[in-house]
Chain A
Amino acid sequence: MKIILEQLLNGLTIGSFYALIALGYSMVYGVMKLINFAHGDLFALGSYLGYTLLVFGSTYVTATLGIWGGMIAAMLIAAIGIGIAGTLIERIAYRPIYSVGRLPAVVSALGASIIIQNGIMVVWGPRPQAYPSQVVPSVMLNIGGIKITLLQIIILLISFMLMGLLYYIVQKTTFGAAIRACALDRSTAALMGINIETVIFFIFALGPALGGMAGVMVGMYYRKISFIMGWNYGLKAFTATILGGIGNIPGAMLGGLLLGVLEMLGSTYISTAYKDVFVFLILIVVLIFRPTGLLGEKVAEKV
């Protein structure tokens, strides 16, 4: 029983990474109907930005802000940097080809992904880098016999805060209403006086920013980052997005958390080697019975 609960917690931790990345995919898809294949690599870039700040800036940052300040600063820097990178990619690679259908954007996105991936390799080198160990004190807590690290608690807290914040922005604010309107019908939204350019700008800043923060947290959690990790996490997060229903914000959160938990339970009770097989099989089975994902609404096909 304890093992199940511990694995559930581990799964939730990994799942919250997937959920944060999946939100970026889902938001961009919801508004632009575009799969941002560069998103996974933006996440990796965020991880490297945080790494740089924590390693090279540690003397200044940690000295002035303390350990916690250093962590928060790294996440903020990653968020801002990746937000800018996301909007830049949108400007350069996607904006010129919105009008010609969706497939050219896929190639363009893959191109952008290769650029970021190899850019990371050129700047930081091809070898995996190790995150500094003492970002968060390694404290093991024992709650009723269930072991949980302080880092896990912090990651879960931050992730759920960020997800809650995003949910609040999208569901409760006027700007969120504008985003939802754009997701339903962009041209009608424009006729209603919504500035689509601003919405797109924020979508491409906000989604990748969340991914960037997830990157820093993955770095702190696993302590090893490599320039190709964007593909793995991107693929998993994209799976999570589809599992929950693409274009659907709560769906992305649910999909991500569910994927993390399933992966952990699968690797504990079935086989570590087949955990990814297990994840993809579940995705396929879900899609056979619910072709638009768990929370996806049935979309009437335009004729």
Chain B
Amino acid sequence: MKLNNSTNNKKNIFTYWIIILFIIIFLIFPFVINAYWVDVFFFFGIYALLGLSLNVVLGEVGLFDLGHMGFMAIGAYTTAILNVNFGIPIIILIPISAIAAGAFAYLVCSPIIHLRGDYLCIVTIGMGEIIRLTLNNNPFGVTGGPNGVFGIDFPSLGNFFVIDNSAKFYYYIWIIVGLTIIGLVNLQHSRIGRAWNCIREDEVAAESTGIDVRFYKLLAFVLGAALAGVAGNVYATKLMMVSPESFNFMESCMLFCIVLIGGMGSIPGVLIGAAAISLFPEFFRTFAQYRMLIFGVAMVVMMVFRPGGIWPRKRGALQLKSILTKAGTENG
């Protein structure tokens, strides 16, 4: 279904320019702000990547996942342990972290994927907590207990290109986010994306049209977990250490909020949600101890006035219109 309507074309060009503008702003950003804010925007990037990964599970398929930080923890600890103990370069560990987190998601989610709604929600919470507590208890002496693992290398390509300062990390994370967005946008318009959305809208109908619901749900979990694993890798190399408390239940809840504040299943929405969650508390630092209080009020107010999120995804409107116009021209 090609959209060759002229108004749509104009609109596309318009959004195209806006995207270019945003990219340019992002490129020059580290030159005009100080290192502190570059770091803040780095963590915005991490939250964006995590939000995108949760969006695959929650936004596209509608599976409640409140333990998503657990997958990130798997990725981060895989990176940390393999790098510190065996000296494997970070660049090789990116796919390994993704595979580890994805494989873990496959193993853990296979038996529970048939659970619905709130039951899935508590099981994922439980899973996230099990991961965090296990890491905290230092099994076999590899996770370092509550202190975590120290001394992770910077990501580098051989010896000549090392990502070792805030600005480089900033570009690094946003390039990963950019690539992820391109991949996910393509995925949204593919057979898989349509199957996911179909499951989200009506699971029974999806199953009756021949969609393998179990397979696609697992696929979403594995893909989401793999992306979270990549985020964990970047996070671990940026902080040069990992500790279990970074992956607590509160953080998983914040990811949930990123997706819902932005708008379920909407990629620009996830970016806005990530900005809201990561930048908002920074802007309100002047309020000191009232900061999180205001944050909570903002969350409630936000949901009361825009329950669909800031930038909700328009579902199927364009496709439907083009079918109708096509049918109209064919008949008349």
A interface with B by C-beta (< 8 Å):
29, 35, 37, 92-93, 96-97, 100-101, 103-108, 110-115, 117-119, 121-122, 126, 231, 235, 238-239, 242, 246, 273-274, 276-277, 280-281, 283-284, 287-288, 291-293, 301, 303
Please state if B297 and A111 are interface contacts (CB–CB under 8 Å).
yes
Evaluate contact between A107 and B130: CB separation under 8 angstroms: no
State whether the Cβ of B320 lies closer than 8 Å to any Cβ in chain A: no
**Which 4 pairs show the lowest CB-CB distances between chains A and B?**
A111-B299, A114-B296, A115-B296, A280-B126
Write the nearest CB–CB distance from B165 to chain A, whole angstroms. Answer: 33
The residue of chain B having its C-beta at the shortest distance from the C-beta of A303 within the complex is B204
Contact yes or no, A291 B300, CB < 8 A: no
Chain B positions within 8 Å of A, measured between CB atoms, are 111-112, 114-116, 118-119, 121-123, 125-127, 129-130, 133-134, 136-137, 204, 249-250, 253, 256-257, 260-261, 264, 289-290, 292-293, 295-300, 302-304, 307-308
Contact A110 B304 (CB under 8 A): no
Q: Give the Cβ gap from A76 to chain B, nearest Cβ, in Å.
A: 28
Contact B253 A110 (CB under 8 A): yes
**A103 vs B307: C-alpha distance when bound (angstroms):** 9
CB distance from A105 to the nearest CB of B (A): 7
Inter-subunit contact A274/B133 (CB<8 Å):
yes
Chain B contacts of A115 at CB under 8 A? 293, 296-297, 300
Inter-subunit contact B260/A106 (CB<8 Å): yes
Interface of B is mostly: helix
List, in ascending order, chain B residues with CB within 8 A of A292's CB: 119
A66 to B261 alpha-carbon distance, docked (Å): 51
Of the residues A93, A126, A277, A284, contact of B304 by C-beta under 8 Å:
A93
B126 nearest CB across to chain A (Å) = 4
Residues in A with CB closer than 8 Å to B307 are: 97, 100-101, 104
- Partner of A114 from the list B121, B289, B292 (CB cut-off 8 Å) is B292
Which residues of B sit under 8 angstroms from A301, Cβ to Cβ? 116, 204
Shortest distance in angstroms between A239's beta carbon and chain B's nearest beta carbon?
6
* Chain B residue with the shortest CB-CB distance to A29: B118
- The verdict on A280 contacting B119 (CB below 8 Å), with A93-B300, A115-B300 known, is no
Bound complex: CA A210 to CA B298 (Å): 28
In the complex, A96 Cα to B307 Cα: how many Å? 9
In the complex, what distance in Å separates the CA atom of A113 from the CA atom of B264? 22
* In contact, A239 and B126 (Cβ under 8 angstroms): yes
A100 lies within 8 A of B308 (CB): yes
Q: Residues of A contacting B289 with CB < 8 Å?
A: 118, 121-122, 126
> Nearest residue in B to A247 (C-beta to C-beta)?
B118
Sample of 14 A–B contacts (CB below 8 Å): A29-B118, A92-B300, A104-B308, A110-B257, A112-B300, A117-B292, A242-B118, A273-B137, A274-B133, A276-B129, A280-B126, A284-B126, A291-B116, A301-B204
Which A residues are in CB contact (< 8 Å) with B112?
284, 287-288
